[in-house]
Amino acid sequence: MEPRDILFSIVMVISSFTLTFRWLTIYHEADPVLILSAMILIGALASLLISIELRLKRMEQMMDEQVRGLRINVRGLEESIDRKLESYTRLLNETVNDLARRIYR
């Protein structure tokens, strides 16, 4: 969580207080419970947004770890396939050379 996220959350709560207070004082019906509930609502929304951001960062880290693991596995598989292909190619070349020698005799 970054400091700017906390700052934005504080700004959201203060602006909800100001907006609700000003809006209700226009009609001369300033209700402290309504103002407090608006502040709690905006505070909960801010914390929800921060929570979503933290979850997304954790998911991104997990995906990065999985990608790294896959890369390592693919490299190992690649090397294994290369060794097997090299062995089969060598065997095939020896067989072809052996057949070519037999044909020319």
Rg (CA), the chain: 34
Count up the domains in the chain and report the number. 1
Cβ atoms of 42 and 13 closer than 8 Å: yes
pLDDT for residue 92 = 93
Cβ atoms of 12 and 60 closer than 8 Å: no
- List the domain range (segments joined by +) for residue 43: 3-104
Nearest CA among 31, 40, 33, 32 for reference residue 12:
40
Beta strand spans in the chain (E): none
What pLDDT, in 10s, does the model give residues 71-88?
Answer: 999 999 999 999 999 999
Low-confidence ranges of the chain (pLDDT < 70): 105
pLDDT for residue 34 = 87
Cβ atoms of 45 and 5 closer than 8 Å: no
pLDDT for residue 105 = 66
